[in-house]
């Protein structure tokens, strides 16, 4: 491989890298404008929220596991 071929390949690799970085930055900018969601699923089935602090508690609990107040 001569020096000219090597330089052409190097320039092509640099252009591909710049295009990839631009695509990543555009994707991150688009994601920042959308409402954020947690990447983790959370089920609230079988739970009820404390009216005082808002923490989820099991349906079978009579007091909040966070603040200790009575659940209604």
Same domain? For 47 and 70 the reply is yes
d(CA 64, CA 9): 64
d(CA 49, CA 66): 11
pTM above threshold 0.75: no
Same domain? For 23 and 2 the reply is yes
Confidence (pLDDT) at 40: 73
Domain that holds residue 63: 42-72
Give pLDDT tens digits for 13-53: 999 999 999 999 988 777 666 666 667 777 778 899 899 99
pLDDT tops 90 at residue 7: yes
Q: How many domains does the chain have?
A: 2
Cα Rg of the chain, angstroms: 27
Same domain? For 18 and 48 the reply is no
d(CA 13, CA 11): 5
Same domain? For 52 and 67 the reply is yes
């Amino acid at each position: 491989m001569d020096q000219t071929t090597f330089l052409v390949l190097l320039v092509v690799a640099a252009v591909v890298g710049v295009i990839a970085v631009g695509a990543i930055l555009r994707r991150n900018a688009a994601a920042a404008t959308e409402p954020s969601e947690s990447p983790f699923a959370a089920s609230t089935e079988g739970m009820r929220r404390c009216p005082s602090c808002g923490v989820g508690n099991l349906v079978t609990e009579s007091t909040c596991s966070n603040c200790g107040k009575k659940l209604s």
